[in-house]
């Protein structure tokens, strides 16, 4: 094992995942890496998606928060994911790099992937009005009894995460074809297999500049800005594939 790889491993073991990522990013830029032989999954070429709405026109969520969230948290996760993919490609060819240290990086890859996916769902289900209809409203009534039941449970799940970190996801469960509100932490907890229909980011970076510790006020604002057309489109698209994907 060369000295650079040995330092990577020691960092992973002794300093935890966050410092490890910093060390690996520095290592990545310090020297040349052989061209990838692993294909698109390891190219580190993810690009951010533009905001699909005017951030000055949301109700109760400021442009400052949205732009900070989009630029720093979403794009930060994507930059880290790109670094991880390239580094994993290089380390996959290092036969002496320890498997347990490689596993820590794979966990970080999963977290950053989940962060990118959920942030994109979050931003793309903002910018609308709280007027659900069509297929998504019918499915909510079927699986929760009423829209009011769904909203109350969605809000309660969100408040359970206040002051901490995580996501609330109205999820279409492809295994049984039903909607369910899921509590998700670390960007990567969800019932297999599911498609996010409505996603709420409850990490404090989503609301602290606007509301401080008053997370419930942020949840109120989020509910006023849900893009139900996007939610309906997600549901109808996933239902088309649901029959085949639900097979065990």
Q: Where are the domains of the chain?
A: 3-26+51-124, 134-245
In terms of pLDDT, which residue wins out, 6 or 25?
Answer: 25
pLDDT at residue 23 is higher than 50: no
pLDDT at residue 1 is higher than 50: no
Please state the rounded mean pLDDT for residues 11-31: 43
Please state the rounded mean pLDDT for residues 67-80: 97
In terms of pLDDT, which residue wins out, 195 or 16?
Answer: 195
pLDDT score, position 244: 65
For 119, phi then psi, to 5°, come to -65, -40
**pLDDT tens per residue, range 160-194:** 999 888 999 999 998 889 999 999 988 887 766 78
Q: How far apart are CA 132 and CA 123, in angstroms?
A: 17
Instruction: State which fold the 134-245 domain adopts.
Output: minor pseudopilin epsh fold (3.55.40)
Confidence of residue 18 (pLDDT cuts 50, 70, 90): very low
Share of the chain above pLDDT 90, in %: 63
pLDDT at residue 25 is higher than 90: no
CA end-to-end span of the chain: 43
pLDDT score, position 242: 66
Q: How far apart are CA 93 and CA 237, in angstroms?
A: 39
pTM for the predicted model, two decimal places: 0.83
Please state the rounded mean pLDDT for residues 21-47: 61
Please state the rounded mean pLDDT for residues 127-146: 93
Helix (H, G, I), strand (E, B) or coil at 1: coil
Helix (H, G, I), strand (E, B) or coil at 6: helix
pLDDT score, position 38: 66
pLDDT at residue 29 is higher than 90: no
Tokens of 233: 């489109």
pLDDT score, position 87: 92
Q: How far apart are CA 224 and CA 129, in angstroms?
A: 6
Three-state SS sequence of 199-227: EEECCHHHCHHHHCCCHHHHHHHHHHCEC
Q: Are the beta carbons of 125 and 226 closer than 8 angstroms?
A: yes
Question: Position of tokens 């206040």?
Answer: 162
To the nearest whole number, what is the mean pLDDT of the chain?
A: 85
Three-state SS sequence of 54-122: CCCCCCCCCHHHHHHHHHHHHHHHHHHHHHHHHHHHHHHCCCCCCHHHHHHHHHHHHHHHHHHHHHHHH
Element (H, E) at 181: strand 178-184
Confidence of residue 22 (pLDDT cuts 50, 70, 90): very low
């Amino acid at each position: 094992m060369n000295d650079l790889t040995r330092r990577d491993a020691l960092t992973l073991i002794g300093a935890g995942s966050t410092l490890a990522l910093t060390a690996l990013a520095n290592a990545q830029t310090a020297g040349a890496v052989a061209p990838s032989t692993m294909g698109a999954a390891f190219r580190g070429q993810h690009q951010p998606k533009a905001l699909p709405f005017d951030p000055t026109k949301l109700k109760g969520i400021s442009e400052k928060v949205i732009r900070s969230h989009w630029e720093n948290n979403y794009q930060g996760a994507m930059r880290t994911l790109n670094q991880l993919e390239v580094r994993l490609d290089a380390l996959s060819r290092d036969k002496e790099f320890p498997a347990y240290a490689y596993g820590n990086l794979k966990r970080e890859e999963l977290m950053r992937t989940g962060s990118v996916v959920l942030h994109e769902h979050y931003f793309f289900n903002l910018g609308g009005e709280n007027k659900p209809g069509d297929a998504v409203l019918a499915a909510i009534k079927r699986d929760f009894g009423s829209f009011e039941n769904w909203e109350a449970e969605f809000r309660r799940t969100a408040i359970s995460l206040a002051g901490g970190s995580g996501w609330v996801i109205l999820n279409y469960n492809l295994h049984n074809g039903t909607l369910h509100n899921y509590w998700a932490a670390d960007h990567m907890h969800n019932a297999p297999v599911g498609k996010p229909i409505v996603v709420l980011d409850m990490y404090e970076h989503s609301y602290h500049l606007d509301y401080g510790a008053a997370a419930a006020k942020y949840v109120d604002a989020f509910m006023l800005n849900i893009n139900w057309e996007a939610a309906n489109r997600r549901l109808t698209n996933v239902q088309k594939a649901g029959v085949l994907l639900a097979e065990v």
